[in-house]
Amino acid sequence: MRAPVELWRSVRSMPDFWRLMQLRMASQFGDGMFQATVAGALLFNPDRAADPASIARAFAVLFLPYSLLGPFAGAMMDRWDRRWVLVGANLSRLALIAVIGTILAIRAGEIPLLLGALLANGLARFVASGLSASLPHVVPREQVVTMNSVATASGAIAAFIGANFMLLPRFFVGGGDKGAAVIIFLTVVPITIALLLSLRFGPRVLGPDDSRRAIHGSAMYAVITGWMHGARTIVRTPTVAAALSALAAHRMVVGINSLLLLLLAHRVKDPAAGGLGIALLFFAASGLGSFLSNLLTPPTVRRWGRYAAANGALMGAAVIELAGAGLMVPVMVGCSFFLGVTGQMIKLCADSAMQMDVDDALRGHVFAVQDALFWVSFIVANSVAAALIPADGYAPAFVVFASALYLVGLVVHSVLGRRGQPVTVR
Per-residue pLDDT of 266-312, as tens digits, reads 776 665 555 677 787 888 899 889 889 988 998 999 999 999 999 99
Cα separation, 347 vs 152, in Å, equals 10
Which pLDDT does position 50 carry in this prediction? Answer: 64
Average pLDDT over residues 202-219: 71
pLDDT interval class at 425 (50, 70, 90): very low
Long-range contacts of 171-176 (CB under 8 A, 24+ apart): 175/40, 175/44, 175/45, 175/46, 175/272, 175/273, 175/276, 176/45, 176/46, 176/47
Which pLDDT does position 424 carry in this prediction? Answer: 47
Between 333 and 4, the higher pLDDT residue: 333
Q: What is the CA radius of gyration of the chain?
A: 21
CB 373 within 8 A of CB 347: no
3-state secondary structure the chain: CHHHHHHHHHHHCCHHHHHHHHHHHHHHHHHHHHHHHHHHHHHCCCCCCCCHHHHHHHHHHHHHHHHHHHHHHHHHHCCCCHHHHHHHHHHHHHHHHHHHHHHHHCCCCHHHHHHHHHHHHHHHHHHHHHHHHHHHHHCCHHHHHHHHHHHHHHHHHHHHHHHHHCHHHHHHHCCCHHHHHHHHHHCHHHHHHHHHHHCCCCCCCCCCCCCCCCCCCCHHHHHHCHHHHHHHHHHHCHHHHHHHHHHHHHHHHHHHHHHHHHHHHCCCCCHHHHHHHHHHHHHHHHHHHHHHHHHHHHHHHHHHHHHHHHHHHHHHHHHHHHHCCCCCHHHHHHHHHHHHHHHHHHHHHHHHHHHHHCCHHHHHHHHHHHHHHHHHHHHHHHHHHHHHCCCCCCCHHHHHHHHHHHHHHHHHHHHHHHHCCCCCCC
CB 167 within 8 A of CB 37: no
Between 23 and 227, the higher pLDDT residue: 23
pLDDT interval class at 218 (50, 70, 90): low
Sign of CA dihedral 234, 238, 241, 247: negative
| Omega cis (within 30) before 208 | yes
Which pLDDT does position 273 carry in this prediction? Answer: 55
Cα separation, 405 vs 253, in Å, equals 7
CB 268 within 8 A of CB 396: no
* CB neighbour list of residue 276: distance below 8 Å, 6 or more residues apart: 39, 40, 44, 175, 265
Supply the pTM of this predicted model. 0.74
Which pLDDT does position 269 carry in this prediction? Answer: 63
Asked if the model's pLDDT at residue 241 lies above 90, the reply is: yes
Average pLDDT over residues 20-27: 94
CA distances from 153 to 290, 319, 424 (A): 7, 25, 25
CB 217 within 8 A of CB 75: no
Asked if the model's pLDDT at residue 221 lies above 80, the reply is: no
- For the chain, the structural domain boundaries read 2-418
CB 375 within 8 A of CB 66: yes
Cα separation, 403 vs 410, in Å, equals 11
Average pLDDT over residues 63-92: 76
Half-sphere exposure of 204 (CA within 13 A, CB side): 6
pLDDT interval class at 162 (50, 70, 90): very high
pLDDT interval class at 426 (50, 70, 90): very low
- For residue 102, count CB atoms less than 10 angstroms from its CB and return exposed for 0-12, middle for 13-18, buried for 19 or more: middle
Q: For the domain made up of 2-418, give the CATH fold.
A: Growth Hormone; Chain: A; (1.20.1250)
Using CA atoms of 110, 113, 119, 123 in order, give the dihedral in degrees to the nearest 10.
-130
- Mean pLDDT score of the chain, rounded to an integer? 85
Average pLDDT over residues 247-258: 94
